[in-house]
Amino acid sequence: MADPILSIRDVSVSFDVRPQGTWPWTPSLKLHAVSKLSVDLMPGETLGLVGESGSGKSTLARAVIGTIPSSGGQIIYEGRDLATMTAQETRRHRRDVQMVFQDPLAALNPRMTVGDIIAEPLITHEPDTPRKEVKARVAELMEKVGLLPNLINRYPHEFSGGQCQRIGIARALIVKPKLLICDEPVSALDVSVQAQVVNLLKDLQAEMGLSMIFIAHDLSVVKHISNRIMVMYLGCPMEVGPAKAITAEPRHPYTQALISSVPIPDPVLEAARERPVLEGDLPSPLSPPSGCVFRTRCPKAQPSCAEARPGMDKVAPDRFVACPFQEVEKVLADA
């Protein structure tokens, strides 16, 4: 069996935050964005990250790419710990791990042409590449992502949202990365365009042998593109396992609530469906609940849930659930 391309071991990410309206000498508070999270990513695999806004998905992605430091634990890429990498190894890591952002237009420099935007990472990481070869690689990649090469001298504002996202994907792939992190890449797009971009990513992954971390709110999108799914809540993993198993038979109460929010494309079944509703709002990461962080909104919470954070129980060969009171909930097909 192949070794993981990425291993995340008990990783925590926290920030010092000073409350508004306080004096400069007021002690800062700790914002716990990610808390002791562990997961592996295999070569060629897609790991979907789902959860509410504020659950730590994007923070984890930025820690993996190296733009923010982790507060604890290890992030190991191809056998090397990010924290102990040399400057040369860090530069190589930043070439191998690329990112596609949520807002396609805001992620592109409005003063640069499409050709220059796509070529920028290649010129940065391979400055000796002949100009003719750079232009040829840009044109080739534009065709791969579904853009006509004759649009190379146009500017981002001349393109639609879906086309801008294709430009962002081309920019990320120009240096032939091994790991692509997609931070909600379709949330700002129309439904029909979402399907086109997701199918494009799947085709490019198969063609280039990419590993992917795909972040999204829409479970139907995550199910379509992911091999495995990790459900996150307030920086903690709630459930990890194969995408089909989690969406068909969710075990954690939070996963069940997320899946129940996805509408069924049958008005009769949808009207007759019992839908659990989470009470209250997401707690502040400045003062997370003791024990299980989900207990304040969990319909199955017991007094013991406040005492200690539950571990990830292995319920199947490749499935883990952080709840001692879990039970399987059957989901209608295609729900």
Domains along the chain with CATH numbers: 1-17+29-43+55-226 (3.40.50.300), 231-334 (no CATH)
Residues 6+ apart with CB under 8 A from 135: 115, 119, 152
| pLDDT tens, position by position, 34-51 | 999 999 999 999 999 999
For the chain, percent of residues with pLDDT exceeding 90:
69
pLDDT at residue 25, rounded to an integer: 79
Give the pLDDT band (50/70/90) at residue 282: confident
Q: Residue 328 in contact with residue 246, Cβ under 8 Å?
A: no
Q: Crossing angle for the helix pair 161-173 and 114-125, nearest 10 degrees?
A: 20
In angstroms, how far apart are the furthest CA atoms of the chain?
67
pLDDT at residue 99, rounded to an integer: 94
| pLDDT tens, position by position, 138-174 | 999 999 999 999 999 999 999 998 999 999 999 999 9
Distance between CA atoms of residues 36 and 48, nearest Å: 18
Give the pLDDT band (50/70/90) at residue 217: confident
Give the pLDDT band (50/70/90) at residue 71: very high
The beta strand positions in the chain, using DSSP E, are: 6-17, 29-41, 46-50, 72-77, 80-81, 97-100, 179-183, 211-215, 228-233, 236-242, 313-316, 319-321
Locate 108 and state its tokens.
Answer: 């592109």
Give the pLDDT band (50/70/90) at residue 259: confident
How large is the C-alpha radius of gyration of the chain?
Answer: 21
pLDDT at residue 270, rounded to an integer: 65
pLDDT at residue 1, rounded to an integer: 65
Choose among 108, 245, 125, 236: nearest CA to 169.
108
pLDDT at residue 211, rounded to an integer: 96
Distance between CA atoms of residues 307 and 305, nearest Å: 6
| pLDDT tens, position by position, 76-130 | 999 999 999 999 999 999 999 999 998 888 899 999 999 999 999 999 999 999 9
For residue 193, pLDDT over 90 is answered with no
Q: pTM here? A: 0.91
